Amino acid sequence: MASEKVTEAPEEGYERGLGSRQVQMIAIGGAVGVGLFLGAGANIAKAGPSLILMYALAGAIIFFIMRALGELLLYRPVSGSFAEYSREFLGPFFGYFTGWTYWLMWVVTGMAELTAAAIYVNYWFPAVPQWVTALVFLVVLFGVNLISVKLFGELEFWFSMVKVTALIGMIVIGLGVLTFGFSAAGDTASVSNLYAFDGFFPKGIGSSLMTLQGVMFAYLAVELVGVTAGESEDPEKTLPKAINTLPWRIALFYVGALTVILCVVKWTEFSPGVSPFVKAFAEIGIPAGAGVVNFVVLTAALSSCNSGMYSTGRMLRNLADSGEAPRIFSRLSAAKTPALGVTVSVLFMGIGVVLNYIVPAKAFGYVTSIATAAGIWTWLMILISHVLYRRKVVAGELPASSFPAPGGAVCSYIAIAFLLFVTGLIAYDADSRICLYVMAVWAIALGIGWFVMKSRTPQTGEREEPALEKVG
């Protein structure tokens, strides 16, 4: 039987400054990022129209992950949730490893978004070096995150509003081109473009499956809703609503938008490094349309980088509270933001500026593969924690959540198998395999750090079990 209310979470000192509309738009913004706007171009070139199916398949798995997270969040809503649940259900080391790995994911994602933003600005100002643009954006967003969570939430709200409005506009215009045949693309726009050029799987099913790693990168950040739990005004109402609207967001913004674009412009016209949305509007021939879309995808990149700065600071504070990072990171500024954690994270994101200086052509590919590997670890920890939580609920050792995942732990097992399959694809692909080497080095470094901390302070990472009433 589900509990009537959310289990009380400890007071963390944050300002509960994120209202319902902001949490909703953060959730929507998290599902619409640079992985779709920029990364889809390379994936279309690899898989053709079958990429639509890959986004739909991965989207279903993401929903399983988010429902698992939602059940945990309504059992005990805390900021830095994934690390906390890993710590509770798998042990202190897994909480430590997950927290630091999620921090790494957002640091390298921030690098990817800065790189993408610089590429978009290059559309208008080709003479400006990528690294200069990346540095300017890094400094501006850093300032926003230091001021207050309300300003972060408000900026993220409007960033997301721009993305959502533009995507809906693109879909409507694309449907108009298909239905009425207007514009320069009207004569060739047709549903038959989905299969007329070497079929729906033009490069074979194997090639389509190989795009799943890039597709999963596009979905990174949907779990950001979990990080907002400690600063949401009413998590019991806002979090379930944000999670339950995920399927229609994926159906509309990913599957719907790509379907329309690939009907309007044949898949052979797309290439890596060019946003398919910018390309489609250029083909349609709407005056300044490509420039408008370029502005939209720029806001998408800045939105994700903004979210990265927000989440890394919170995760470092969670680690510090558990003795798994320097204690100084647990301090809040006068504005109730983890300013030092944000500052250190931003300094590491600055490595992305250096990459844009050294290897501007390859910077995006390098960091996205590392971010995907770190994201897969985070999702696996959410799912495994959920499976273990369900076992304790069934055994009567923990109270049931007021937002149970459909099918119990079954969907979590399916999602775990899928994520392991994607990891195998990454290992198979020579271009992306390097991220697993990086993650191996990262794991060794974290392992050494753990043993050093345990030798100095044996109580590191130990935390009292949540005081919960036994049910059953």
Whether 82 and 102 have beta carbons less than 8 Å apart is answered as: yes
Q: Rg for the chain (alpha carbons), in Å?
A: 22
SS (H, E, C) 122-134: HHHCCCCCHHHHH
**DSSP labels for 400-440?**
BPSSPPTTTTHHHHHHHHHHHHHHHHHHH-TTTTHHHHHHH
Cα–Cα distance for residue pair 32/126, rounded to 1 Å: 26
Residue with tokens 């920890």: 381
Number of residues assigned to the chain: 472
Phi and psi, residue 351, nearest 5°: -60, -30
pLDDT in the model for residue 296:
82
In the numeric block, the tokens 């209202």 are attached to 19
Residues of the chain whose pLDDT is less than 70? Answer: 1-35, 38-39, 79-81, 148, 225-233, 287, 356, 359-365, 460-472
Q: Where does residue 323 fall: left (phi above 0), alpha (psi -120 to 50 degrees), or beta otherwise? A: left
pTM confidence score: 0.84
Burial class (CB in 10 A: 0-12, 13-18, 19+), 126: exposed
For residues 113 and 134, what is the distance between their CA atoms, to the nearest angstrom? 9
Dihedral through CA 369, CA 372, CA 374, CA 380, nearest 10? -150
Which residues, at least 6 apart from 447, have a Cβ–Cβ distance to it below 8 Å?
none
Q: 443: helix, coil or strand?
A: helix
In sequence order, the β-bridge partners of residue 400 are 2
Q: DSSP letters along 19-77, please? A: -HHHHHHHHHHHTS-HHHHTHHHHHHHHHGGGHHHHHHHHHHHHHHHHHHHHHHHHHS-
DSSP bridge pairs for 232 = 18
Query: For residue 9, how many other CB atoms are within 10 A of its CB?
Result: 18
Residue 312, amino acid: T
Q: Would you state the structure tokens that stand for residue 388, as one six-digit string?
A: 């273990």
User: What span, in angstroms and rounded, lies between the C-alpha atoms of 145 and 316?
Assistant: 15
Nearest of 287, 279, 349, 342 to residue 118 by alpha carbon:
349
Q: Which of 215, 242, 249 is nearest to 58 (CA)?
A: 215
Q: How far apart are CA 64 and CA 238, in angstroms?
A: 18
Contact 278, 294 (CB under 8 A): yes
Residue with tokens 């960091």: 367
Classify residue 420 by burial, with Cβ atoms within 10 Å: 0-12, 13-18, 19+: exposed
Q: Is 446 in contact with 369 (CB distance < 8 Å)?
A: no
Cα–Cα dist 77/73, whole Å: 5
User: What CA–CA distance (Å, rounded) separates 385 from 85?
Assistant: 6
Q: Which residues of 325-347 are buried (b: 16+ CB within 10 A; e: fewer)?
A: beeebbebeeebbbbbbbebbbe
Residue 221 structure tokens: 């950040």
Rounded to an integer, what distance in angstroms lies between the CA atom of residue 461 and that of residue 332? 21
Most distant CA pair in the chain, distance? 72
Residue 57, pLDDT score: 95
DSSP β-bridge partners for residue 2 = 400
Q: Tokens 């954690």 belong to which residue?
A: 341
| 3-state SS assignment for residue 79 | coil
